[in-house]
Amino acid sequence: MDMLKDKVIMVTGASSGIGAAAARLFAAEGAAVVMTARRGHLLDRLVKEIADTGGRSAAVPGDITRPGDVARVVTAAVEQYGRLDGAFNNAGWATAGTPVHQTADEVFDQIIDINLRGVWNCLKHQIPAMLAGGGGSIVNTASVAGVIATGANASYIAAKHAVIGLTRAAADEYAPRGIRVNSLVVGSTLTELMREVLADTPALEAAFTTRSLQKRMAEPVEVAQAAAWLCSDRSSFVTGTAMPVDGGWTAA
């Protein structure tokens, strides 16, 4: 497996779920993976797991809403591995849907901060490193909520729509300079957090699967596989896209 052989890739939100699945997969595909998330002890555990299977990775705990933390992760990637070839900006956060007029301002701010400003902070620091290395590929995690109203919190829907717009703008600006930027339109995914939610409220599973043509949720590695392809040279003519990884949710 060498789809990402010798590439250096940064993954945010890597402590669990889609991010952890991506870190494992990218390393298995030959990349050196620089992981960040707020829960450093989980990153350390993942570094050991990847090393035990012969992979290369480094953990740099941080908060993507803080520009200084993001800069520190990018600097660590360049210092340890010599460059930055790719990034999977996956970290995100959502809360239960509430009507717009009942959503607290602090909830709006937190959702926008993590899901949109976090991606913005990453792009601001990743792009210069990639320009210095001659190019690269960036993948931002959006959502079906970035394409249609899903019943999620309106702040989250707004943030994910904005991620897709930001992705397209960056793709347009940096294509002449060798950087591709794409987003993933992700459907409901069986992360650890989702499994906890379903264990507490099993009836919610129908709500998360009824609009999917495949009538199931994604496994985290299925989303990671799409991100790996977009980070690889096999997707060399793909940029500015919002790629559905949603079991057909947005096709219906």
Euclidean distance between CA atoms 23 and 46, whole angstroms? 8
Q: Which of 123, 249, 238, 130 is nearest to 182 (CA)?
A: 238
Q: For residue 149, give the 3-state DSSP assignment.
A: coil
- State residue 3 phi and psi, 5-degree precision: -60, -30
Name the helix (H) or strand (E) containing 52: helix 40-52
- State residue 87 phi and psi, 5-degree precision: -150, 140
Burial (0-12, 13-18, 19+ Cβ within 10 Å), 52 = exposed
Per annotation, catalytic residue among 81, 120, 156, 229? 156
Euclidean distance between CA atoms 68 and 73, whole angstroms? 9
Euclidean distance between CA atoms 172 and 205, whole angstroms? 38
75: Cα separation from own chain's centroid = 19
∠127-131-137 over CA atoms, to 5°?
A: 60
Q: Is 156 a catalytic residue?
A: yes
Terminal alpha carbon distance of the chain:
34
> Which residues fall within 8 angstroms of residue 230, CB to CB, at 6 or more apart?
137, 139, 180, 182, 184, 238, 243
* Catalytic machinery residues: 156
